[in-house]
Amino acid sequence: MSIDAETPTGSRPGGDGSGGDRSGGDPFAASARETTEGRVYTVTGGDWEDFLDDTQQEERVVINLGPQHPSTHGVLRLVLELEGETVTKARSVIGYLHTGIEKNTEYRTWTQGVTFVTRMDYLAPLHNETAYSLGVEKLLRVSAPERAETIRVLLMELNRISSHLVFLATGAMELGSTTGMTFGFRDREEVLHLLEFLTGLRMNHAFIRPGGVAQDIPENSREKVLEFCKVMENRLPDYDKLFSGQPIWKQRLKGVGYLPLDACLALGTTGPILRSAGLAWDLRKVEPYCGYEQFDFEVPTSTDADCYSRFLLRVEEIRQSLRIVRQCMDKLEPGPVMVDDPKIAWPAQLSIGPDGMGNSLDHVRKIMGQSMESLIHHFKLVTEGFDVPPGQTYTPVEAPRGELGYHHVSDGGTRPMRVHVRDPSFVNLEAFPAMAEGGLVADVIAVVASIDPVMGGVDR
């Protein structure tokens, strides 16, 4: 900035052109020099750069990422303390999606509870239904028929595929790959169409119930399922072409969100996060349920313990789930899909009506045509539910995000005394600070994506 001044030389700081007299203690005094156009002052801020460096070493900026932000996987609030672009402290704030589902189950029958728990981790509804039903069956000391268990495995593995596809789609979107988002949601639609064909609904199915499943799958299910497997096996290599060898994708994920095995064990993380640290812990192998011991599949692991290894593991888990789905079609033998116990099972084969709740006219007509006792029994079973012997049990399953466990407490009545859920998203979120602190704020997005939390399961 040039100033044409008539002030005598020396009457202003720096008037002698020497850089300014700063003996007065002003570190920002301007220097001046004479030109043909007059005296020119150079305002540089003095030692501002040195001063800024000193303050940056002490100043911390606290920002909120979310709760209304695409990169938080829903209504998750992240409070970050930053030093420049580096995260010095991080914590997650939850509770924005609290629905009181656990408490609600205490006011419903044991069967009606399925319609609530399926809405918690809404990307893995069938795993919630299975874990809940297995716990009730353990208290009842009954087991679902073999065909029902195979159908449960089929539905859970299809659900695992759809959940991992959402991880790929949302993770890609948050890191800037709209093509990856399109691929993931396109293929997830294939799974949801198939689940709708098998169960009647795309999500929140309430299809897996204590004692078995609501009804048998359609007759031409084999052709539909095998066609889906063929489509997915043809499309999976596209994800490797788009991501696995892509330099930008690898730079954004490799070495980011590092969480070694000892930290995983200390924090209780399970699922792909734990397996990415080298431990092949999968409840389908370690503590088999629903006949998983009869299936041939591998548990992929890695020792890199970073976001990139978790991405690779989930893609490989999709391939393994397709293997299991194909085996389900070979193992699906004719038979009942509900326990043969009139105190638990409805007295007539369930027939889904227009409302999706089994109230079709054919169903009601069959019950009423059997006997008055059968009608009364059906009415009491549907309205009051069945008694469950007193006791408590913990039943875990391997959900897409890790160990999903249900703690049931029964006082001997027709309703649960307590249902408490160990949701893997809730536990895995505790590892977020350990994975994010010390990294860049841009890496926080990749870390959250690799955890793949579902806030419906966290807050429930």
**Residue 385 exposure: Cα atoms within 13 Å on the Cβ side:** 21
Higher pLDDT pick, 185 / 15: 185
Give the helix ranges, DSSP H, for 281-306: 283-286
Segment holding 135, helix H or strand E:
helix 125-140
Residue found under tokens 């009647």:
200
**Is pLDDT at 15 greater than 50 in this prediction?**
no
Segment holding 150, helix H or strand E:
helix 146-174
- List C-alpha distances in Å: 86 to 35, 111, 224, 289: 46, 50, 50, 44
Residues 284-333 have pLDDT tens digits of: 999 999 999 999 999 999 999 999 999 999 999 999 999 999 999 999 98
- List C-alpha distances in Å: 239 to 135, 311, 320, 326, 381: 37, 10, 15, 21, 49
- 142-146 average pLDDT score: 92
Higher pLDDT pick, 174 / 401: 401
Residues 269-281 have pLDDT tens digits of: 999 999 999 999 9
Q: For Cα atoms 418, 421, 424, give the angle at the middle one, nearest 5 degrees.
A: 175
Lowest mean pLDDT among 344-348, 446-450, 455-459: 344-348
Q: For Cα atoms 111, 116, 120, give the angle at the middle one, nearest 5 degrees.
A: 140
User: Is 321 in contact with 157 (CB distance < 8 Å)?
Assistant: yes
Residues 233-255 have pLDDT tens digits of: 999 998 888 898 888 999 999 99
**Is pLDDT at 420 greater than 90 in this prediction?**
yes
Q: Say what the pTM is.
A: 0.81
- Mean per-residue pLDDT over the chain, rounded: 84
Model confidence at 22, pLDDT cuts 50, 70, 90, reads: very low
- Return the CATH fold of 127-344+386-423: Cytochrome-c3 Hydrogenase; chain B (1.10.645)
Most confident of 76-85, 158-167, 367-376, 435-444: 158-167
Segment holding 89, helix H or strand E:
strand 86-93
Q: Which sequence spans correspond to the domains of the chain?
A: 1-57, 127-344+386-423
**Is pLDDT at 189 greater than 80 in this prediction?**
yes
